Amino acid sequence: MITLKPSKVGGSIWIPASKSQTIRALLIALAARGRSIVRNPLYSADTLSCIEALRALGCRLCINDDSIEVDSSTLQCSGRDITIDTGNSGTTTYLLYGLLGTLGCSSVTLKGDEQLNRRPIGPLVEAYRDLGLEGGCTQGRPPVVITGALEGGSTSIECPTSQYLSSLLLSLPLARRDSEVDIPLLYEKPYVSMTLDWLDRQGIAYDMRDDLQHLRMKGGQHYHPFDERISGDFSSASFFLVAAAITGCTLTLKGLDMDDSQGDKGVIDILVAMGCSVECTEEGITVTGGRPLHGGTFDLNSMPDALPALSVLGAVTDGPLTLTNVANARIKETDRIACMTRNLRLLGLEVDEMEDGLTVHPGPIDGGVTVPGYGDHRMIMAMAVLSLIARNGLTIDDEKAADVTFPTFFSLLERVKGGSE
């Protein structure tokens, strides 16, 4: 439990590396069958779960302060029954799934914590069955037992989470035969672009057509050992971007790459539309909150993880703030639409909950209450940012869950309250 007081913010901070990029790098290093180096990785609960998964499969890892060396030439999978606990990491669970069918294991059981075991995996299991990889789970949720080998072939899958398609993109180059995949529904497209960037760097041959609705993948390909640096995480940065916006202050965020394909960099465009000033230089991204902030309607389909952070801005806009086309936010660590609605109402705001989003009506935040974090890192960080304008501060019931993606969040928040480097 942590109690936070209202405050202005200022100064500059370095944003930690991208969780999504770190996990993709680690999984490609697993498949590359050699020695790879991942520089500037994120060390968080989710990425540590991925690291432990690689160790369970027999990878030799050397963990340094600023790099991870992965030697996957030491894999010990053939004929083994392996159990892998991916903790709270949905990214690791989904993206690792198909790769397990290329390692020669007798069977692999994938399981996670209580939250992860409530997240749907059935559509991915069914798609991989079409491609030769057998999986068994109860009511379409983990744990799942994976047997057989990834043969390739054809399938169709709706992707309310982009992680389904990213899983197929990572594994199908290693299938024994060519594959075709129809994708009639796809949310979070920038995360797919992120995966395709990694395939391009690896020289993987594929054909992605019709605005990511049809995939042709050549089988029998190979990944190669690499040495790559991970850039800063726009998903993590969004909370500090919003901190500057909601307080009307100026912050400079370092370590971010505007050429990166991360979808959450779209938060910057939304803040500009709401009246903030944003300057991107070699020094970093400097954001100054506008006054007043403008309400409006914003489509978050490509950046559902930004919903908690952006929702808190509705308290200080000059009209209603609507975040829409983001029904997939309901199948994250929590139902983030419902949980944000409950918390903002608890703090006295009028909120209209919709199936695919919410509308927040502006109003004062007195605070002085305890709000639940629901064990969800992004909910917790959003409430922490809202505490900056809560007249009597806020208490959050479980701050440790922020460690899933951003273990230094609260120390950096205290630093910007002091306005220091």
C-alpha distances out from residue 326 to 172, 193, 237, 251, 310, Å: 28, 18, 20, 28, 13
Is residue 281 classed as helix, strand or coil in its secondary structure?
coil
Q: What's the pLDDT at 78?
A: 83
Residue 405 is predicted with a pLDDT of 85
Cα(2)–Cα(149) distance, rounded to whole angstroms? Answer: 48
The model's confidence at residue 259, banded by pLDDT at 50, 70 and 90, is: confident
Mean pLDDT of 75-99: 93
pLDDT at 419: 65
Handedness of CA 24, 26, 30, 32 (dihedral sign): positive
How much is the pLDDT for 261? 85
* Strand (E) or helix (H) holding 145: strand 141-148
- pLDDT tens figures, 111-168: 999 989 999 999 999 999 999 999 988 899 999 999 999 999 999 999 999 999 999 9
Mean pLDDT of the chain: 94
Rg, C-alpha atoms of the chain: 21
- Determine whether domain 2-16+231-417 maps to CATH 3.65.10.10: yes
**19-204 matches 2-16+231-417 in CATH topology:** yes
133, 101 contact by CB (below 8 A): yes
- Extended strands (E) in 43-106: 60-63, 67-71, 81-85
Q: What is the pLDDT of residue 263?
A: 86
What percent of the chain has a predicted confidence (pLDDT) above 70?
A: 99
Q: Which residues contact 264 (CB under 8 A, 6 or more apart)?
A: 234, 235, 237, 238, 303, 305, 306
Please report the DSSP string for 333-379 in residue order: SS-HHHHHHHHHHHTT-EEEEETTEEEEE-------SEE--TT-HHH
Is the pLDDT reported for residue 420 higher than 70? no
CATH code assigned to 19-204: 3.65.10.10
Active site members: 305
pLDDT tens, residue by residue, 311-370: 999 999 999 999 999 998 998 889 999 999 999 999 999 999 999 999 999 999 999 999
Domain extents in the chain: 2-16+231-417, 19-204
236 pLDDT higher than 90: yes
